[in-house]
Structure 1
Amino acid sequence: MIAALRRFCAALSESPALWWSFLYFFCLLSGYYVLRPVREAMAASSDVAAVFPSAMIQFFAARGIALGEFTLQALFTGAFLIMLVLQPVYGALVSRWPRRVFLPVIYGFFIATLLLFYVLFDSGMPGRGMAFFLWVTVFNLFAVAVFWSFMADVYSNTEARKFYGYIGAAGTVGAFLGPILTRTLVDRVGIANLMLISAGFLVVCMVCILRLRRWAVLRERERRLTSGERPMGGTVWAGLRLVVQEPLLRWMALLVVTGVGVGTLLYNEQAAIVRRFYPDPQAATAYYATIDLAINALTLLVQLFITRLLLSRFGIAPALLIPGFAIILGYAVLAASPLPMIVAIVQIITRSSEFCLAKPARETIYTRVAREWRYKAGAAIDTVIYRGADLSFAWLHKLLSMAGTNAVFLGGLVIASAFTLGAFGLIREEKKLPADR
């Protein structure tokens, strides 16, 4: 404990930019986790009119389809289609404008739309659940993807292996605070005012971006890297093209797709349970907030005491393989004995290992590649490909669930094995990169 604290203090003195990185990620995840329980409650709601627009409900009802039976599938389909539309928009933004422009524009857009959702929830507008679910999905993926791409501008690979665990821990503390605020305030101020709280956190994120920019410029000058203060250029679809062409990015995509798969199967099972036992939206919101707190507790402990040690001394291999083998074991147990408590434990292991080990390990790789790889290809993997996997596995879950719970978890076991295979492939390709750029 004391040794870990000393290492942490030494890191702070070594890099003043860490303070602003901590504050940035803390506020980003605080703002997101204030909203996440609301999103989960909307997805699990039995009030179809609150989730979907009236015209959409009537359209499917006229064709003999009860939309409430396909809530998650419809939401994931909508999320994927929105990602397809936004990917070229994002590609055009980062291609034609310098970093000092497109980063504030992205966060400014999210702040403005949060103010709009305040009005929608305050008025109780029908269909607000679907709109909010889709928006939070876009916000989570794009805002976090942009954050890590920006961190790769600020830090070298050596610094990333030392600091990313600590930066992740700052985000985890924010992920703790968000559900606490939601659980404490949702009954007092209502769901609508949670939008304003989240918007306040994002305003602080914009301040951090402006402060961190000078360290990014300094690193680029010292190492003679391409400056992010000039437009990146390239095509709007360059990210997806790079993923197809480059073996390292293909393995990265496989790892993300299979990671989404094991998480989505568990998520959908959990949503079915919540729909039965927590029909009230505020009770469901409080339930999801409690689950997030448990996951974040484990994540924080690993980030503070294990992540830096693994990445600095052993590289990315242990941080990628440990989650893979743990998930295989978890799904094997679930396939043999699908008890509710075991489902919860595997959910905690799956999400926490992604946040504290697999995600930081993957992000250190982007410090050793060109900016187009991390801002375009990295964003494409974390948005379009991620949501495409989400959509595919949401429908796969619907198919497997017809054969029973055991079939779902046996399918998850196969996907978990593919996740581990992807980890081995990524480790092999990462070794071919230069030590630092």
Structure 2
Amino acid sequence: MTPPAASAVAQRKGRFRGALAESPPLWWALVYFFSLLCGYYVLRPVRDAMGASTDVAAIFPRSWIALGERHGFEVGAFTLQLLFTGTFVAMLLLQPVYGALVSRYPRRVFLPVVYLFFIGCLVGFWWAFGTGASGRGALFFIWVAVFNLFAVTVFWSFMADVFDNEHAKRVYGYIGAGGTLGALCGPVITRFLVGPLGVANLLLVSAGFLAACLLCIMKLRPWARRRERELGDSGGEQPMGGTMLAGLRLVWERPLLRALALLMFFGVGVGTLLYNEQAAIVREFYPTAEGATRYYSTIDWAVNGLTLVVQVLLTRLLLRRYGVAPLLLLPAIAILLGYTLLAASPLPLLVATVQVVTRASEFSLSKPARETLYTRVDRESRYKAKAAIDTVVYRGGDLTFVWLHKALSMLGSKVVFLSGIGIAAGLVYGAWRVARAERSLPASPGPGNGAGTGSAEERQVHAT
């Protein structure tokens, strides 16, 4: 390593040590996100291999397959469409449950409940995989998607309680990097332990990482309460009240939240089209479950490796110097260019490359920028509206674009990617809308549940 490079590394290490010393909860936040994403990425390659599998009997219940045969309907021809539809339905059913939790129970109750529920589900799947229960593949695919969205949403909402906006700009890049390290370790665990342990026992490994998340929640609670006292807001340990579907109402009413929902919808669109094209490639070139799992593990490694580099080198610098606008606009423009290249030459290697860039830019740039915005809005927006955007809007986009892809794929990959150019343009527009709406936010939310959502006039309207 050359002296300038060594000096740069030393400086980054010094900044990281300084951030830990300045912000003690950063350590527990790092462990929390590492454990969460490591536990998730232990499961993800197995889920993706199921979605691309040609073994219909391993995915759907036998009764579904028989019903399709009686009506001349081949279930296996619509595997991803049915799985994504099931995921969306699950989100619609669970969103009111989540809304009820945050409306009726204080944080110290509903955060542990969410994670205990997921741990209990993993134990149930451990039994189902061990006994070969019918329909376990589809149920597991849907559950992993639900788990990822709800668990990560709860994590970032909690971080917005622990850190104020200025601290968030300094530490969110480090926290994201901690999660990326977990995302790198998860596929390694799956790759090397699936043989000796088997798929079923890997689920218990993931449950162990979620138990570590519970410990981190308990350790971070005092800092969340301290920040609330500094803001003159004691609401974090009290129920927020409101209706179960208040999150969707807030998204409809508030310009920033509407812009974030639009950004999420088109972001899901570009990702879903790529995911489905990638699944078609896997079915053709990697027909075995082992080969498919190995391919998806490689993609996850590439995504998370690139994400880590960007998070460490660029995310913090861009956030502190330029704010959220470049972190939202640059990935959107890069994805638009990627789809333009794919429309001209839809090669499998190029599809994989654009997929890596799309996911890595989302994790390293777009998501930290969006999460920083939630430190400047009220608690209802952080917990209710954010959950609605990250679950209902996200999976609604999945549902829309997975069926759109099915229709477009009949006309060929070039048509898919030409349509993707329009969707990517919508992503650029959504990023611009968020960057514009962000200018009206205060530096930090005021006390209570109603501040920090828009202009002073708008907040007064909502207060009445």
TM-score (norm 2): 0.93
Is 1:350 matched up with 2:323?
no
Distance 1:379 1:256 in 2: 12
Distance 1:418 1:238 in 2: 27
Q: Which segment is superposed worse, 18-27 or 239-248?
A: 239-248
Does the CA-based 8 Å contact 1:320-1:423 persist in structure 2?
Answer: yes
Tell me, which stretches of 5 or more residues in structure 2 are unaligned?
A: 1-8, 446-464
Cross-structure match for 2:215: 207
Q: Where does 1:15-414 land on structure 2 (aligned, <5 Å)?
A: 15-414=23-422
What SS does the aligned partner of 1:126 have? coil
Does the CA-based 8 Å contact 1:187-1:282 persist in structure 2?
Answer: no
The code of the aligned residue for 1:52 comes to F
Distance 2:299 2:192 in 1: 15
Distance 2:41 2:423 in 1: 27
4+ residue stretches of structure 1 with deviation over 4 A?
none
Is 1:428 matched up with 2:432?
no
The code of the aligned residue for 2:369 comes to A
Deviations 1:164-194 (A, max 9, x none): 1110000000000000000111122111111
The code of the aligned residue for 2:158 comes to F
Deviations 1:189-248 (A, max 9, x none): 111111000000000000000000100000000121342100010100000011111111
Per-residue deviation at 1:413? 0.8
Distance 1:38 1:380 in 2: 27
Does the CA-based 8 Å contact 2:281-2:348 persist in structure 1?
Answer: no
Aligned residues: 437
Distance 2:352 2:294 in 1: 16
Does the CA-based 8 Å contact 2:225-2:234 persist in structure 1?
Answer: no
Tell me, which stretches of 5 or more residues in structure 1 are unaligned?
A: none
The code of the aligned residue for 1:425 comes to R
Distance 1:277 1:190 in 2: 24
Distance 1:423 1:291 in 2: 26
Per-residue deviation at 1:277? 2.1
Distance 2:294 2:346 in 1: 24
Per-residue deviation at 1:63? 1.1
Percent identity of equivalent pairs: 63
Per-residue deviation at 1:341? 1.4
Deviations 1:4-54 (A, max 9, x none): 222211111110000000000000000000000010011111110110001
The code of the aligned residue for 2:442 comes to P
Per-residue deviation at 1:162? 1.0
Distance 1:77 1:422 in 2: 24
Q: What is the CA RMSD across the aligned residues, in angstroms? A: 0.8
Distance 1:329 1:430 in 2: 25
What SS does the aligned partner of 1:134 have? helix
Q: Which segment is superposed worse, 100-109 or 40-49?
A: 40-49
The code of the aligned residue for 1:155 comes to F
The code of the aligned residue for 2:109 comes to V
TM-score (norm 1): 0.99
Per-residue deviation at 1:126? 2.3
Distance 2:60 2:373 in 1: 40
